[in-house]
Amino acid sequence: MSETKVVFHSSNSLVQKLFDTAQEKCRQNERFFGDKKVLIEGGGYHKVWIETQPMGGAMYAKRDLEIALNNQKIFMDAQREDGRLPGSIEYKDGAIIPQYNKFQGFCFAEPALDVYFLTGKKAEYLDQLYEVLRKYDAYLWKFRDSDHDGCLESWCKYDTGEDNAIRYADAPNYWEGEEAPTGFEVVPMASMDFMSYSYSAKETMAQIAAIKGDQALYAFHKTDADALKKRIRAYLWDEEKGAFFDRDRSHRQMQTLTHNNLRMMYWNSMSKEDAERFVKEHLLNEKEFWTKLPLPSVSVSDPLYRNDTVNNWSGQPQALTYQRAIRALENYGYYSVIPRLGRKLFEAIGEDCVFVQQYDPFTMKPSLIGIEGKQDAYGPAMLAVLEYISRMYGVVLHRDKLIWSSAREDEGTYEQHMYGHVYRLEHEGNKAHAFIDGREVISFERGERLETDLDGKELSRYNGL
Apex 219 CA angle, 216 and 222, nearest 5? 150
CA 54 – CA 70 distance, rounded (Å) = 9
- Given a contact cutoff of 8 angstroms between Cβ atoms, the answer to whether 366 and 349 are in contact is yes
Q: What percent of the chain has pLDDT over 70?
A: 100
Torsion-angle region of residue 429: left (phi > 0), alpha (psi -120 to 50) or beta? left
pLDDT at 73: 98
Say what the pLDDT of residue 368 is: 86
> How many beta carbons lie within 10 A of that of residue 145, not counting itself?
19
Helix or strand (DSSP H, E) at 109: helix 109-118
Instruction: Write out pLDDT tens, residues 388-412.
Output: 999 999 999 999 999 999 999 999 9
Measured at the alpha carbon of residue 396, what is the angle toward residues 316 and 338, in degrees to the nearest 5? 35
Q: pLDDT (tens digit, 9 = 90+) per residue, 33-71? A: 999 999 999 999 999 999 999 999 999 999 999 999 999
pLDDT in tens, 250-287: 999 999 999 999 999 999 999 999 999 999 999 999 99
Handedness of CA 299, 304, 305, 311 (dihedral sign): negative
User: In whole numbers, what is the pLDDT of the chain averaged over residues?
Assistant: 97
Mind listing the pLDDT tens digit for each residue in 144-193?
999 999 999 999 999 999 999 999 999 999 999 999 999 999 999 999 99
Kindly report, residue by residue over 327-382, the tens digit of the pLDDT. 999 999 999 999 999 999 999 999 999 999 999 999 999 998 888 889 999 999 99
pTM exceeds 0.85:
yes
With a pLDDT cut of 90, the percent of the chain lying above it is 98
Residue 310, phi-psi category: left (phi > 0), alpha (psi -120 to 50), beta (remainder): beta
Q: For residue 278, what are the contacts with CB-CB under 8 A and spacing of at least 6?
A: 242, 243, 244, 261, 262, 265, 270
Residues in the chain: 465
CA angle 313, 387, 203 (to 5 degrees): 70
Q: What is the pLDDT of residue 373?
A: 85
133 SS3 class:
helix
Task: For the chain, list the domains and their CATH numbers.
Answer: 5-11+32-274+289-294 (1.50.10.10)
pLDDT attached to residue 397: 98
Element (H, E) at 328: helix 319-331
Are 18 and 346 spatial neighbours (Cβ–Cβ below 8 Å)?
yes
Edge-first strand order for the sheet with 401-406 is 395-398, 401-406, 448-452, 458-463
Is residue 177 helix, strand or coil?
Answer: coil
Cα–Cα distance, 51 to 99 (Å, whole number): 13
pLDDT tens sequence across 374-384: 999 999 999 99
The one-letter amino acid at 83: G
Residues 361/294, Cβ–Cβ less than 8 Å: yes
**Residue 1 banded pLDDT, cuts 50, 70, 90:** low
Neighbours of 47 (CB within 10 A): 21
Using CA atoms, how far apart are residues 162 and 311, in angstroms rounded to an integer? 9
Distance, in Å, from the CA atom of 445 to the CA atom of 258, rounded to the nearest integer, reads 37
| Distance linking the first and last C-alpha atoms of the chain | 36
pLDDT of 202: 99
**Are the CB atoms for 267 and 197 separated by under 8 Å?**
yes
Burial of 227 (0-12, 13-18, 19+ CB in 10 A): exposed
- Contacts of 333-336 with CB under 8 Å at 24 or more apart are 333/462, 334/279, 335/449, 335/462, 335/464, 335/465, 336/464, 336/465
| pLDDT score recorded for residue 372 | 83
Confirm if 453 and 437 have CB atoms less than 8 A apart. Answer: no
What letter represents residue 109's amino acid? A
6 in Cβ contact with 23 (< 8 Å): yes
